[in-house]
Every structure is written in structure tokens, then in C-alpha cells.
Chains A and B, each alone.
Chain A
């Protein structure tokens, strides 16, 4: 330990032991404990205690008087555990101290035991301590195990959970100790401590009280999740019949925890040979559990690579069941194409079917819950390589479309079940969102033209319906985009397929209307959608025709003046994208005088005058993209463009705008100086297009880019300084070979540059000398320790205050206040 810390420790321990002393804040003790953990990991705890007797004094003091705050009590228990984790230190502390702190007559008799923090500290202390066989004996002899059992049912969830975890840890430690006894392998005899825990678990599993069953199941779930030694197989063999018996009870107790346990066992690599009984239990659970709980189990099983085929079929059946029920309830006899083609075998297990139907029709919340869960689970399953094959793409698409129609009220059904579903789901936003997400996922698969038509039809309904809520509409746009992008194209033809084209033609009038919506969320979603759409399809002739025939470009440009800043930002992005693709509104529209000055002018106006950050950030992003893509307006006079933008950006109060501005500058530099050098790249001759460096430097001085970058380097917002540093390093790297090795001080102007930098650092205004020559800039660049600055900036902002000394000093300073006050009183 640091001698300075050692010096401060006695005072701190004394302060902690004094109940009258206030503590700085809650986090201090946590930080202190973390520090002790680091220290004990690096050096011997025993030595530490011997060198710092104040620590043992503190612990002894806790034993003698417990009138200190519960936080300090909890801290002391955890601290003792941390030290006792090392066997020699454990032996050193053993006897009165450890027994007093963790034994039967210990904290449980304290008044403070009623405070959850103290109980939690006791458990965590034990958890740290339980690392060696001596600790195991201690646990067994001190009666701690029984206390842990009782703490499993603690009213504080944190305490109860920690107790369960400690039990898992103790069981594992005990088995480990038993194994290391002779050959290092477990010899089949349960050590006493493990036997005790096993007995407790068996008893709990047979209990009629659901909370006790839940506790046992949770302990087992964690055990199988963490321990993969051979003994876990025996453990499962012993407990499996008890678990199976739980499934025979009605109602099944702790069903959720039971599912977790089965999944944990199934995932355990140590149980490969006893999976037979597990699969039986899982199959039984899939049959008996409610559709909601069975769904989670089914998904977990389907994700397993080694799940037997029969079980996979059963599990997939469980997942498909709710959708199949919906389709069946709404199908007109005979079923529409694609809706009755569930893969043979998947839905054969009819056991769950009536249960699912009952759940679906029982209440709105049950119906919504199960449908949302099923849709989310199938969505999760779809991209996995181990998903069931053949994947029933068409029936699933049919089901998603049917659900969306039910929610929209446009599905027809003659059956009473269908009518009930229709009544339950009509206008249900949650199901709509889940179904749209799922539909989006299904776009990645192949599909028939007929179904694609159905999908686009239902998406059209949603996009056009005045009843679609803004959140549903946003999802509908996202799904539409996924379907449009994945739509199969005619081979050899880059254009849109017939179906999407038809859809797009109908879409633009809808977008037009939506752009005028009084709801800003809607306007925003449309603009985002439009940006994406033109990014992907902007080059397609059909798309361009359809877009330009509509008023969408004009309306987009008008929304640059929207009262809502998010909308303005999205409008900036959309208008920028349209302009990049040559799809902007006709400029000669007399109604909009701003159109006369061109989009560039309008965006510059937003950048310099908009009161909100979002639109300004969007403008710089668009400019960066324009610069990258060589937009005509930018290419006309790039230098003027860069100089103007950087000048505006440098004044901006929003740090993100300034970072974006630096990004723009970097793109400009890369275009002028070439890509940054990669250390692993074979050196290629410099691209012919790259401008000679002295000329570039001249232009950078003219554009005041150095000014901008150096000022940003001293920015009080770290990301800005980091970005500026990156940019200047790139420049430094590129100019390394340029010019002589003149010292900075020798170059005219560079000295004043240094002075200006100093003044900026001191927070003063002012500019770099305007007539600064490239040489002076170069010298300034070289003389500044950019690498050092980058390293400093990479550190977190509190690195200065993070040292243990400062922690101890802070804590002492807080308690010191009390002392001074006392002195004043006298």
C-alpha cells in the first residue's frame, strides 16, 4: 500500500468507528471497498492487516459496539470478508473476530440486523470470505448456512437474491473442496455442507408454498448456469423427479422459475448424458404450462443446437400455435392461400391448442400479451441459423397480415372466435407495433408475388389510415422500407419490381398528406422515411418520376421552416438527400422566396440562425455528405463553402455541431491530402489527384482551418478537443515530410501563434494572426504535443480525482468539518 494512504488510514478508521462523524456520501464506502479489493488482490491481506493495525481495530470496534451507522456496519462486514478471503488472513482473524461478525451470536442479535443494508453486508462478506476449505468449515460450524436459508425469503429482494447466490457459491465451493480431496475428481460422496444444502433444496421443491419452490428453483438455475462440473449431473439426476412432480401440480407453482431452470439445465455442457430425462421434463412442461410460459421455454429450446428433433417440433408448434389460432379463427372456409399451409407436423400436438384459444379469447390483456410475445419470439428466431427448417414463411406472413388486418378492423370473419378477436384487437397499438416489426423481419425471406401484394396492401392501409397512431405509423414506415429494399428485382434490370412500383405510385399522395399532418411525430417519420427511400432508390428512373410528379419535394423544403425542431432537422436531412440526388423542388416556385437562394443558402441560414441544436447538427451532416459526394453546389466553390461553414460552426454553442464541423474539415483534408496512412498498408504512390502539400497549406491558412482546429483543441468539451486533436495529428502526419526541420521559434508568426494558444488556454478571446504563413502553422503543429494531449484526453475526466489518496483525503475532509465546528463551540 501507498505509504501516504497508510498514513491516512488510522485517522479514517477512527472516524469510521466514531458514530458521531458524518460520512461524505454513500459512494465513498463503496469506493473504499473497491480500493481494498484491488489492494488485497495485489498483496497479502495478512501483511496489510499487520502493517495497518487500525483496520483490525475498526473490525474489533464493530464487535464491541454496534452503535455506528448501518452503512459502516455493512461496510465493516464486507471488509472483513474481503480480508478473510485469503486463507492465512482468515486464520489470523479467525476466532473471536470472524465468529463475532459472521457467527450465530453475531450480527443477527444486533439491533441493526433489521436494516437490509446490514443483512446484505453480512451476506456479501460471507460471499467474499468463502474461498477456501477453512471457510467452508467455518460456514458449517458457525450455523451461517441456516441463516442463509432463512434469508432466501427476506423481504428485501436484494438480500434474498444475494442469499440465493451465496448458497449457489457455497454448494459449488463445497463440491470443489470434496473433489480436491484426493484425485481432484468428485468421488460421488456429497460433503456435509453440500448435503445440507441439497436437503434444503429437496425439501423446498416439495413444499406447497410457491415462494419456497421459487427460491429452490432459482438456486438450481444459477447452479446449473455457473457450475459445469460432473457433480451437477448427479445433482440433476437426484432432483429431476422432484422437478417433474412440480409439473403435475395444478396450478404449476413458480412456472416462470421452472422454465428458467429447464433452460439452464438444457444449456449446461456438463449434462450431456442425462439429457433424456431433461427432454422428457421439457416435453411435459411444453404441454402443461400456460401458452405465455411455454412460449419462453419453446424459444429457448429452439435456440439450443443439440435439441432433439421431436422436441424442436413440439416447441415450434407451441410458438406457432397462437398465430395458427388467429388464422384459423379468421379464415373463411376454405382458407385463403398461404394461410393454411403450416408445415406438416408442426401443429400436430393438439394439446396446447385449446389452452391457447382459451387464453387468446379470455381477455384483452391476455390476448395482447400472448400475441406480442409470440411475434417477438418468432422475430428473434427468424435470423438464427438453428431456426426450424423448413421455415414456414408463407403461413407466418399470412398470419402477420391477418393480425394487422384484425387490429385495423378490416379482417372479415364469420366465426364467433374471429369476431371476438376482431373486437379485442381493433385499434390495439401494442399488437400493431409487434406485428409490423415481425412483418419487417419476414421481408428477408423469399415470398410469392401474391403474398407480397397482400403485404403491400396492408402496409398501404396502415400508411393511409387516419387512425394509425404516430408510433404505429413510424413502424409501418420502417417495415415498408425493409420490404421495398428486399423486394426481388427483375434480373438484369436495376429498376424497381412491378409490385413496389405500383405501391410507390400510391404512396406519394399519402406521404404528401402525411407531410401536412398536424402531428409533428408523423411529419418527422415521413421525412426520415423519405430520406432513406431516396438514399436507396434516388437513382431509379421510375422512383424519380413518381417522386417528381408529387409535391413531396416542395413540401419537404417547406418543412425546413417547421415550428418543431426535430421536424426541421429531419427536413434538413431529407432535403439534403433529395438535393444530392437531383430531386429537389423546382427552384422557380414564386411562393417560396427562399427557394430562390437555393437550398445551400437556406441551410446556411438554418446553421447560423436556428435556435435549436438538432437542425444545426443536421445541416453540418448534410454538408459533410455533400462534400463527400461532390454535390454541385459545393463543388462550384469548395473553398468558399468550407470557409463559410467553419466560420459559422466555430461560433456554435452546441458541441456536437462543432464536432460535426471538425468532421467536415477532416473530409476536406482527406480529399486534399489523401487517406490517412495505415501502418500495415503497402505504401502506394501518392494519388495523382492529391494537391501538392504547400498549396494545400496555403489554402488551409486562407480558410482559417488552422484557427478553427486549434481553437477546438482547447475546447472545454472533451469530444471536440479529441476530434480536433485527431484532425491535427492527421495533418501533422501528412505534412511530416514537408518543409525543413526549423525550430518553431525561428519562423515568423509562429511565436505569436504560441502566444495566442496560451491566451486561449487562459480563456481569452482573440484570433490567430490572420497573415500566418503555412510555415508558421506547420511549426506550431510540430511544437504542440498533440500525442500527449490525445493521451490525456483519452483518460476519463475524473482520472485526477480517482486516486485512493484523494478518496481518503476527501472522506477525512468531510469528517474534519465536524472537528472544526466542535472547536468553534468551545
Chain B
């Protein structure tokens, strides 16, 4: 069993598991942090961005000044943003049989895999994952395509030149494999390869393994996966949450007794408690708005935003913010808000029961009805007419490199009354803000990551008791910035096996059994013999028939036909069924054996104990009988008669069948 690790990002995993002749890709995450090296794509021409000075080498050589721009001491690539794809060289991706998706954030690289690697398999995901994943992809494509950039920089990627660049560009990994965004056509084609599944549904893969999605409690439709055969169980835990937010709670019980548990997608901010962060978010929002400032919340169009809106729904009246408009701007804003209301069966119990009242499960419906929350596909059109300040704007993309958020950063960045509140934990907020420096607006970092923290993981592992845990290497040591926090790592016995990008891991796990079916007529013919109380044995002569990873014992063909012309041919077709020697069982009591030998006329017998059993020496006959637990040897010098006599004496002590 092998695990091929194609992504180095612990929360955007992409691994391939080879298990029982199937090749299963676990998630297909796209590392978007690479875009932080690029200049933002403004929706409206930005004089500031377009007038940034070009970057030149220390010696004054300015041949890269068209591709690289400098802003407040940082260097950015002036080009269409590119993404860091999963490794494509480590394994032939056309051999991948299936792709299992755990949540909508972990499928963003799907078009690259399904459309460009010769992939012919099936993708499995739940319905909300597919629908919201589609929205995220659609938004991404829209953000990139609506501001076409003529220039595409590639010179800087040259290895010799990259070495000369300042950090972090110098240290960026595999830049030559970075790719621009996919098209909507590719998205549609990729999504058409997805087969929808429901929680606890058992899906047979080629008769060899069965895969089952389980609720992971993190997002709408998010799942962990159980991959099991008759005797082996592998659990894939990715992006799970034990907090009570909107999704169905995590199914922990089904993870019990796994042979291997692959653990990815833990919280990226283990020191921040989501409750505290929500409080921080609300307080800072209220303070800014009360002072007449605007609040910008860079976010994804689905996920935490639902919880934030719910929280604000309860908070705004008490904080006297009822008159402040909340805007949600995204090409998929409308669909996202509406989708969330229709996936009732995927929601937590509380929200499910609301549907029967009937009430919308999320209170943002009421915010929309009362005009407190308004949503727009972009800043153009209706929004410009309705725009009123001070206000709160939720918009993407959280990297601040593309999307409507770029416009608001340019618009509000100069005033210290305004605040940008980062709630998505995927990007370093300082890096995200780098191309906007100098910045007067206040920046608040309240990352809300509801995924498992290390305390929860340790409880989970204690209960699930997997034999082996496999996880990204980042989880096996404390975070670099808090090296003293020994509690911020996975602590389990035996220690977790770790992997890193482009590594192949042989899982410490041997398959020992295979299930074989026996045909009824063959079973009928068996004659079991009880050799110990409760244990019966029977010999079976049969043909093992293996097809589609299923093994069946069938009755052997009838005895060979009388020799004839076609004999030779027949013998080729069916296995040679010669009569087998009987099987023996039992042990030889040495003392009784010696007595028997004496009775049969052997004398001068010596017995020696060895590590494995005994040696009986017949000195006169110059013969040696080695008796061990599972074998007996008679060593005599070319006296076949004697050997046969001794053999028959030995056989008297054993059972035959």
C-alpha cells in the first residue's frame, strides 16, 4: 500500500493511494498562495498600480522591469496570477481510477487533473460539494477573465534568473509548473465527470474496495472517506470540525478501528479559538462603523460567511447597527445564499428542523428581506446606485489579488477610519496587504478556522484508535513561529508517519488475508474432522477462480476422461489433479516413541533435546530422527527399508486426513 503525496499544503491536499490494485486520488486541492507573488488585478484602472516602478538587479540591470514591479520594498510579478498545481510527474495520473473529494475547497485543481492528464476515471463528491465547488470555480474564473491582462511574464521563471530575485520569489517552488486559471469550459467538463454520493453510501470500486463518505462537520456536504476491503480499513480525514456550526455534525464513530488513518486539513490557526475570533470580528466591525468608517471583509462566497452573517444577525440590533448596510459582492453571491437554504438534509439538526416550520434554515434570508443585507454580482451596475457609506462589504478574493476586493482596497485604503478584517485563514494577511502599502486603513486579523485543533485530534485518535496515523509533516512538529508549543502537534502512539510534497510513502501495513467464497456444491462435499474441540479441518481440492478482485473456489473438474487422442489437450486445460498425500497433524510424544522403537527391536537409543525439539539417535543403526514442531526428518545412510519402517512408526502417532 503506497501513498503518493502530490501537494505540500496540509489543508489543500492531493494524495494518491494505491490499495488493492486500485489507484485512488484523495482530494485535488489547488494551492492559490502562489498568487501572492503577483500584483493585484484592479477592476478599474489603478494609476497607483500601473505606475509602480520596475524592479532592477543590484547592478542596475533592468531587463526584468517589465515583468517585476516594486512596491514598498516588495517585488511582485506583473502578470496574470498563476497557481501552484499538484505534482504531475510523481505518478502517471492517467492511471488514477477514482478521485474522492472531501469538501469544496479541496477540488479546485480538478480541471487541471481531469482535463490535462489523460484521466479517464470517476470523481465522487456530495451534491453540496459539487454545487458550491462549482460556484467557487466560477467565481475564480470570472475574477480572472473579466480583467484580461495582455502581459504574461515568464522570463523571471528561468532558473538562473529566479536565483537572482529577492525573497519570496527566489524561494518559490516549482514555478515552471505554475499555471494560469482554467476556463469555464474546462470546469464544466471536469464537473461532468463527478458522480454524486450521499453520506454513508457504499460505493464498490472494481469489487476490490468499498469507499464511503461520512459527514465531517466542516462545511456543507463536506466528507471524510472510509476506504475498506474485507480485512483492511483506511480512513481519510480531511477538513473536519467538531464545532456546532451550520453543517451536519461529524461522524466519528465510523472512523473507529482503522488500520491507517490519513489525517489532513486541520485548523491553520491552532491558537485562535473561533468563538473568540467571532467576538473580535463583531467588536471591531462595530467600532469602525460607529466612527463612520467602512468595513471590508475579504472572503470566499461560501462557508464561514454563513456563520458570520448569522452572528451579525443577532448582533447588529444590540450594537445599534441596524441602519448600516451590509453588502455581499460576488459573481455567485445570489446562488451561494440561495443554495445554502436548499441543502437542508446536509445541515445540522437545528437548521434541519427549521425547514419543517417552515422557515429558511439560515437567518440571512431575513436580513435580505429587511434590506439589511444586499447582494450584487459585482461593483458595476446596481451596486453603484445603492452604495451607501458607512457600510460593511463582504467580497472576494481573500488573497486580495483579484476580484472586487481589489477595488475596495484601493478605494478605502487611504483612510484610517476604514478597517479590513481578515477572517479567512488561507493567506498570510501581511503578505496579502503587501502590494497595498503604504496603507492607512486599519487591519484586523481574526482568522476563523473551525477545523479540528490538536486537542480535538488527540481525543479523536484516542477514540478511533487507528493502528497507524499518516499526516503532513507540518503536523508532526510545533509551528515554526511557536516552537515551544509542544501541544500544537499530533501526539500519538506509534508516532504519526509524515509526508511532504513529492514523496512516496510505503504504508507500514501488510495485507494478510483475502476473502474467498466457496461454491455451495463444493461446501457440501467437505467432510470436516474435529482435531481439537471446536476446531475441525477438512481438505479441499478445488479450482480458485479469480475475476474482478473476487475469488471463488469451484469444484474441481471431473476426473480425467479415459486416455484418448485428445488427452494431451485436455490436460492442458484443466489442472493436474493427482491424488494428494494425506495431511498429518498432531505431535509425537518422545518417550512413547522411544518405547515403541524399543518394542520394535531398536536398542541403544539416545534422546537429545535441541532448541526446536528433539533428536533421537539410533546409534547401532547409525540413524538420526529429528523431531521438530512442524517437521520430522529421518536421516539414515541409504537404507530405504529402515527409513520406511521408521516412517511408519512415526506416522502411528499422527492423525491423517
B277 at the interface (CB under 8 A from A): yes
Question: What residue in chain B is nearest A332 (Cβ atoms)?
Answer: B484
Q: Quick check: B484 and A466 within 8 Å, CB to CB? A: no
CB distance from A476 to the nearest CB of B (A): 14
Contact of A518 among B279, B291, B491 (CB under 8 A): B279
Known: A467-B273, A519-B279. A413 touches B287 (CB 8 A): no
Main secondary structure of the interface of B (DSSP, over half): helix
Q: Quick check: A514 and B486 within 8 Å, CB to CB? A: no
Contact of B484 among A414, A518, A555, A558 (CB under 8 A): A414
Known: A409-B485, A419-B486, A561-B320. A465 touches B282 (CB 8 A): no
Which residues 479-509 of B sit at the A interface, judged by CB distance below 8 A? 482, 484-487, 491
B244 at the interface (CB under 8 A from A): no
Q: Quick check: A518 and B314 within 8 Å, CB to CB? A: yes
CB distance from A112 to the nearest CB of B (A): 49
Contact of A516 among B278, B282, B484 (CB under 8 A): B282
B319 at the interface (CB under 8 A from A): yes
CB distance from B490 to the nearest CB of A (A): 12
Which residues 216-271 of B sit at the A interface, judged by CB distance below 8 A? 271
A379 at the interface (CB under 8 A from B): no
Q: Quick check: A466 and B318 within 8 Å, CB to CB? A: no
Q: Which residues of B contact A465 (CB under 8 A)?
A: 276
Q: Quick check: B290 and A562 within 8 Å, CB to CB? A: no
A418 at the interface (CB under 8 A from B): yes
Q: Quick check: A466 and B486 within 8 Å, CB to CB? A: no
Question: What residue in chain A is nearest B286 (Cβ atoms)?
Answer: A516
Interface 0/1 of A460-504, CB less than 8 Å to B:
000001111000000000000000000000000000000000000
Q: Report how many A-B pairs have Cβ atoms within 8 Å.
A: 79
Question: What residue in chain A is nearest B491 (Cβ atoms)?
Answer: A423
Q: Quick check: B484 and A468 within 8 Å, CB to CB? A: no
Q: Which residues of B contact A414 (CB under 8 A)?
A: 484
Q: Quick check: B283 and A514 within 8 Å, CB to CB? A: yes
**B residues with CB within 8 A of A:** 271-273, 276-280, 282-284, 286-287, 290-291, 311, 314-315, 317-320, 446, 482, 484-487, 491
Indicate the member of A413, A422, A466, A516 with the most B CB atoms within 10 Å.
A516
Q: Quick check: B484 and A413 within 8 Å, CB to CB? A: yes
Q: Quick check: A466 and B319 within 8 Å, CB to CB? A: no
Question: What residue in chain A is nearest B484 (Cβ atoms)?
Answer: A412
Q: Which residues of A contact B311 (CB under 8 A)?
A: 518
18 A-B pairs whose Cβ atoms sit less than 8 Å apart in the complex: A409-B487, A419-B484, A420-B486, A424-B487, A466-B277, A466-B279, A466-B446, A467-B273, A467-B276, A468-B276, A513-B284, A516-B283, A518-B282, A518-B283, A518-B311, A519-B279, A522-B279, A555-B290
Q: Quick check: A512 and B287 within 8 Å, CB to CB? A: yes
A810 at the interface (CB under 8 A from B): no
A703 at the interface (CB under 8 A from B): no
Measured CA separation A545–B272 after assembly (Å): 34
Measured CA separation A17–B277 after assembly (Å): 69
Question: What residue in chain B is nearest A425 (Cβ atoms)?
Answer: B487
Which residues 541-562 of A sit at the B interface, judged by CB distance below 8 A? 551, 554-555, 558, 561-562
Q: Which residues of B contact A409 (CB under 8 A)?
A: 271, 482, 485, 487
CB-based closest 7 A-B pairs: A423-B487, A419-B486, A466-B276, A516-B286, A516-B283, A466-B280, A412-B484
Measured CA separation A119–B311 after assembly (Å): 59
Measured CA separation A409–B276 after assembly (Å): 15
Measured CA separation A149–B272 after assembly (Å): 59
Which residues 298-350 of A sit at the B interface, judged by CB distance below 8 A? none
A281 at the interface (CB under 8 A from B): no
A564 at the interface (CB under 8 A from B): yes
Contact of A422 among B284, B317, B320, B486 (CB under 8 A): B486
State how many residues of chain A have any CB contact under 8 Å with chain B: 34
Known: A513-B283, A513-B287, A563-B317. A518 touches B278 (CB 8 A): yes
Q: Quick check: B282 and A517 within 8 Å, CB to CB? A: yes
Q: Quick check: A422 and B485 within 8 Å, CB to CB? A: yes
A451 at the interface (CB under 8 A from B): no
Measured CA separation A561–B290 after assembly (Å): 15
Q: Which residues of A contact B315 (CB under 8 A)?
A: 518
Q: Which residues of A contact B282 (CB under 8 A)?
A: 516-518
Q: Which residues of B contact A422 (CB under 8 A)?
A: 484-487
Which residues 415-446 of A sit at the B interface, judged by CB distance below 8 A? 416, 418-420, 422-424, 426-427
**A residues with CB within 8 A of B:** 409, 411-414, 416, 418-420, 422-424, 426-427, 465-468, 512-514, 516-519, 522, 551, 554-555, 558, 561-564
CB distance from A360 to the nearest CB of B (A): 15
Question: What residue in chain B is nearest A523 (Cβ atoms)?
Answer: B318
Measured CA separation A419–B277 after assembly (Å): 25
Q: Quick check: B318 and A562 within 8 Å, CB to CB? A: yes
Measured CA separation A562–B491 after assembly (Å): 45
Q: Quick check: B279 and A551 within 8 Å, CB to CB? A: no
Measured CA separation A427–B315 after assembly (Å): 26
CB distance from B487 to the nearest CB of A (A): 3
Known: A414-B484, A468-B276, A551-B290. A517 touches B320 (CB 8 A): no
CB distance from A129 to the nearest CB of B (A): 58
Measured CA separation A558–B271 after assembly (Å): 33
CB distance from B302 to the nearest CB of A (A): 23
Measured CA separation A564–B484 after assembly (Å): 41
Measured CA separation A418–B486 after assembly (Å): 9
CB distance from A736 to the nearest CB of B (A): 54
Q: Which residues of A contact B446 (CB under 8 A)?
A: 466
Q: Quick check: A563 and B486 within 8 Å, CB to CB? A: no
Q: Which residues of A contact B287 (CB under 8 A)?
A: 512-513, 516, 551
Measured CA separation A512–B446 after assembly (Å): 17
Known: A518-B315, A551-B290, A563-B318. A418 touches B484 (CB 8 A): yes
CB distance from A471 to the nearest CB of B (A): 14
Q: Quick check: B272 and A467 within 8 Å, CB to CB? A: yes
Measured CA separation A516–B486 after assembly (Å): 34
Measured CA separation A460–B496 after assembly (Å): 38
Known: A551-B291, A558-B320. A517 touches B279 (CB 8 A): yes
Contact of B487 among A426, A561, A563 (CB under 8 A): A426
Q: Which residues of B contact A522 (CB under 8 A)?
A: 279
CB distance from A587 to the nearest CB of B (A): 17
Measured CA separation A426–B315 after assembly (Å): 29
Q: Quick check: B276 and A423 within 8 Å, CB to CB? A: no
CB distance from B559 to the nearest CB of A (A): 70
CB distance from A347 to the nearest CB of B (A): 25
Q: Quick check: A466 and B487 within 8 Å, CB to CB? A: no
Contact of A423 among B277, B291, B486 (CB under 8 A): B486
Q: Which residues of B contact A426 (CB under 8 A)?
A: 485, 487
Measured CA separation A161–B311 after assembly (Å): 53
Question: What residue in chain B is nearest A412 (Cβ atoms)?
Answer: B484
Measured CA separation A437–B283 after assembly (Å): 27
Q: Which residues of A contact B279 (CB under 8 A)?
A: 466, 517-519, 522
Q: Which residues of A contact B482 (CB under 8 A)?
A: 409
CB distance from A649 to the nearest CB of B (A): 28
Question: What residue in chain B is nearest A408 (Cβ atoms)?
Answer: B271
Question: What residue in chain A is nearest B483 (Cβ atoms)?
Answer: A412
Question: What residue in chain B is nearest A466 (Cβ atoms)?
Answer: B276
Question: What residue in chain B is nearest A564 (Cβ atoms)?
Answer: B318
Measured CA separation A411–B277 after assembly (Å): 21
Measured CA separation A426–B311 after assembly (Å): 27
Question: What residue in chain B is nearest A468 (Cβ atoms)?
Answer: B276
Q: Which residues of A contact B286 (CB under 8 A)?
A: 516
Question: What residue in chain B is nearest A411 (Cβ atoms)?
Answer: B484
Measured CA separation A427–B278 after assembly (Å): 17
Q: Which residues of A contact B485 (CB under 8 A)?
A: 409, 419, 422-423, 426
Q: Quick check: A516 and B319 within 8 Å, CB to CB? A: yes
CB distance from B218 to the nearest CB of A (A): 21
Measured CA separation A513–B288 after assembly (Å): 10
Measured CA separation A422–B317 after assembly (Å): 40
Indicate the member of A409, A420, A512, A554 with the most B CB atoms within 10 Å.
A409
Question: What residue in chain B is nearest A519 (Cβ atoms)?
Answer: B279
Question: What residue in chain A is nearest B312 (Cβ atoms)?
Answer: A518
CB distance from B643 to the nearest CB of A (A): 65
CB distance from B340 to the nearest CB of A (A): 22
